[in-house]
Amino acid sequence: MTGADAEAWITGIGILGPQGCGWDAVVRGLQQPTPLFQPVPPAWQAEPGVPAAWTAPLAADAEAALQPFDTASADRACAMALAAADQAWRQAGAEPQPRRGGVWWGTGMGGAQSTEQSYRRFLLERAALRPMTVPRIMASSPAAQIATRHGLRGPNLTYAIACASAATAIGEALLALRVGRVDLAIAGGSESMLQAGVLAGWQGLRVLSTLRQAETAAQACRPFGAGRSGLVLGEGAAALVLERPASARARGARPLAILAGYGSNCDAAPSLVHPQADGEADAMRQALADAGAPADAVGLVNAHGTGTDAGDVAEAEALAAVFGTGRAAPAVCATKSHHGHLLGAAGAMEAVVSIASLVHQLVPATLGAEPRDPRCAHLQLAAQPTGRPLDWVLSNSFAFGGANVSLLFGRAPA
């Protein structure tokens, strides 16, 4: 779909993550990249099945920023969501839209912290559960509380599609804006899964990077690198304020970037956890077609790039199918090598990374990718942040269950 009404203006951004709190922290992290990983706390490793794995917890300033939102009714993931949405709202200079504003939110595991705490309280401590247990656990609680805080009485939708949750929420918000269902949307995702039980569950899949495999943080998450050891689970939240261009222009707002294309599909493959390159390629083509943009217009692809063997190879194959393998292929980055994998919030975190890349005309570094896996040798990865003219950035989120989502972001109009 093309034309002014086909795109959404991104007028506000909020973020809490391992790299810190706010837009400036994201930009600093891209300009001065480092792996933000810490080992699982030793006390957790005493629990059955919890590995000595690497994790990416919130930075100290992000931790402080969520504290005002840590209430009786808000799980940690919900508090993160509220803090990120507040940042985005302030940056956008938005006003309440009682009937013309809504919330589209993504989370893979909902109130995971409250779920684990409640099971411990009920089964181990044999104590009654707290009155707000159910609202804290609800996956839809962040969207509901964001809407309440900002007076948004339009659609209020939550997507739980594993690693594609937030990217789906952002894409579906774009569709709602296009058809005029709303004038403004808060869209994004949050995830707080650094809990002993969650880590034990992920260890069952044998995809986590552990201290046995990677002795240092620099070795922990190495997307597309030879001998990579797996993924690093992180936590955080990111929120975007999306607006119809006419509505934003009428109130004097200016965009940071635009969202112009959205592709989404399902592999429908026998395995829920094995990625399919053809489905991933189709999602990228859908996003390009949706925006009316040719493949050679894309200057950068923000890869899903988790650091797992099967996932990285499938995505490398998909990228070759869409863009080719020659010098004209776009640059590729995998910033999970900085901030880890935020699961349901990953698509929102990496949407912000994509927007920052456009604003600062920067190809982010992919840490630890050298020496390269020969099966991924055709990808144009940067070992250090690299300046490059960028008009379009494609961001990928590929999930367990075969859900594939691609979002196409463009430079703000002059």
Known catalytic residues? 163, 304, 341
How does DSSP classify residue 342? -
Tokens found for residue 351: 């949407």
Cα–Cα distance between 360 and 32 in angstroms, integer? Answer: 13
Cα–Cα distance between 360 and 299 in angstroms, integer? Answer: 13
CB-CB contact of 303 with 223 (8 Å)? yes
Tokens found for residue 284: 């990228």
| Residue entry with tokens 């999930």 | 399
CB-CB contact of 203 with 49 (8 Å)? yes
Cα–Cα distance between 195 and 112 in angstroms, integer? Answer: 8
CB-CB contact of 172 with 7 (8 Å)? no
Cα–Cα distance between 305 and 308 in angstroms, integer? Answer: 8
Cα–Cα distance between 254 and 245 in angstroms, integer? Answer: 9
Residue 371: asked if its preceding bond is cis (omega within 30°), the reply is yes
CB-CB contact of 64 with 118 (8 Å)? no
CB-CB contact of 26 with 351 (8 Å)? no
Distances (CA, A) of 365 to 29, 317, 398: 10, 20, 20
What is the helix, strand, coil percentage profile of the chain, to 5?
40, 20, 40
Q: DSSP secondary structure string, 72-103?
A: TT--HHHHHHHHHHHHHHHHHT----TTTEEE
Cα–Cα distance between 59 and 108 in angstroms, integer? Answer: 21
User: What pairs with residue 331 in β-bridges?
Assistant: 300, 380
Nearest to 392 by CA among 378, 375, 408: 408
Cα–Cα distance between 403 and 313 in angstroms, integer? Answer: 17
